[in-house]
Amino acid sequence: AGLELRWRILRAPWGRPRGSERDALDADAVHRIVVEDGRVLASGRLHRLDGDSGQIRYMAVDASQRGRGLGRLLLESLEQAARGAGMTRIVLHAREGSLPFYEKAGYRVVAPSHTLFGEIRHWQMEKPLNRSC
């Protein structure tokens, strides 16, 4: 269910085919979705990078539902899953337009990252996880 939203928000607007929203890490990753009245409104994924670091990817919120705090709820759930798995640091590559969202959640830019589809600038961000939260 979350894959459909992931494709619709993160791939379809740039003409990417179905299937481009998946990768080899999906099978072993932690997935979270926000559902209301049977409809997936937000989705995201966490996978382990190394012993104590995780990466959050594919954060997507239905355009009609933005501003309701669903992204924050999803991010907090993924961070909680990371803590539960013993991770002490989260890395992500945020689209330029999403930097304020992640900065408000305690992430900081550490380096320029890639440009997706030749036009979507990304920035590498990190956040240390406090185990007591």
* 58: amino acid identity, one letter: Y
pLDDT at 133: 47
pLDDT at 51: 85
The one-digit pLDDT tens for each residue of the chain (133 residues) are 789 999 998 888 888 889 889 999 999 999 999 999 999 999 999 999 988 999 999 999 999 999 999 999 999 999 999 999 999 999 999 988 899 999 999 999 998 887 777 777 889 999 999 865 4
Contact present, 18 and 3 (Cβ < 8 Å): no
Alpha carbon 61 to its chain's center: 10
**Is beta strand 89-95 parallel, antiparallel or unpaired with respect to 108-116?**
unpaired
Residue 56, both tokens: 């959050």
The CATH number of 2-128 is 3.40.630.30
Q: Please tell me the pTM assigned to this model.
A: 0.90
pLDDT at 131: 63
